């Protein structure tokens, strides 16, 4: 996927410390975020769509892709750039048919079987989930760890977005192990200064040889 190399923000309105999602995303854009995934697991459809419509112009103006978690209908209605799909979401083939060849489709892989099945799928990246244990997502499988990430890197033809327990502390190792992008939720949404948090994470990429 063109462009998803760098810092990838997965939103969680509830973790934004009372700030609006649009303000956190605007800070992240100024700081050099590479991609934003809007994730809303409890909002009614209309409000989820309104969130997507609010983020779209901020990201489009900066040429940054907006992806929607799970919901192909929200992506279509909001004119988002694509979707991020979990293993219980719509099958990738169905999403591709609805979204077209240019849409960005990401797929979470939580087991080795997921990884091998993904090899022949028309997806733009794999979300390697979770790398470490994380409080923001409790329904995930055994963490991949750095070794698991490296193993997927050696096998997969797809770009890899690492997610789960990532921060500036471990980002350099994650990148070294083969991640094209590092996805974070609370490390940005709950940061005292989201702009500074993104800058620090971006620097982890700049520091790579």
Q: Is the Cα torsion angle 3, 32, 42, 168 positive or negative in sign?
A: positive
Smallest distance from a second copy to CB 20, Å = 20
CA distance 159 to 166: 18
Smallest distance from a second copy to CB 103, Å = 13
Q: Is 111 in the site for a second copy (CB under 8 A)?
A: no
Helix, strand, or coil (residue 69): strand
Q: Is 47 in the site for a second copy (CB under 8 A)?
A: yes
Instruction: Report yes or no: 18 and 7 within 8 Å, Cβ to Cβ.
Output: no
Crossing angle (nearest 10°) for helices 21-30 and 45-61: 20
Nearer to a second copy, 71 or 158 (CB): 71
Tokens describing residue 31: 């700081």
Binding mask 119-148 for a second copy (x = CB under 8 A): ------------------------------
Smallest distance from a second copy to CB 104, Å = 16
CA distance 38 to 54: 11
Smallest distance from a second copy to CB 37, Å = 16
The residue ranges that bind a second copy (CB under 8 A) are: 44-47, 49, 70-74, 76-77, 86-91, 94-95, 97-98
């Amino acid at each position: 996927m063109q462009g998803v190399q760098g810092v990838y923000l997965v939103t969680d309105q509830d973790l934004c410390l009372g700030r609006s999602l649009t303000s956190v995303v605007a800070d992240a854009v100024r700081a050099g975020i590479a991609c934003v995934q809007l994730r809303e697991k409890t909002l009614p459809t209309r409000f989820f769509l309104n969130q997507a419509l609010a983020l779209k112009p901020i990201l489009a103006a900066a040429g940054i892709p907006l992806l929607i978690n799970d919901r192909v209908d929200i992506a279509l209605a909001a004119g988002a750039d694509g979707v991020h799909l979990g293993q219980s979401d719509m099958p990738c083939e169905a999403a591709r048919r609805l979204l077209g060849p240019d849409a960005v489709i990401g797929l979470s892989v939580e087991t080795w079987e997921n990884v091998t099945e993904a090899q022949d799928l028309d997806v733009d990246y794999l979300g390697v989930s979770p790398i470490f244990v994380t409080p923001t997502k409790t329904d995930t499988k055994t963490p991949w760890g750095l070794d698991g990430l490296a193993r997927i890197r050696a096998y997969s033809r797809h770009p890899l977005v690492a997610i789960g327990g990532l921060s500036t502390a471990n980002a350099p190792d994650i990148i070294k192990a083969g991640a094209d992008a590092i996805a974070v939720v609370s490390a940005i949404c709950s940061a005292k200064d989201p702009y500074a948090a993104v800058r620090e994470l971006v620097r982890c990429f700049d520091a790579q040889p």
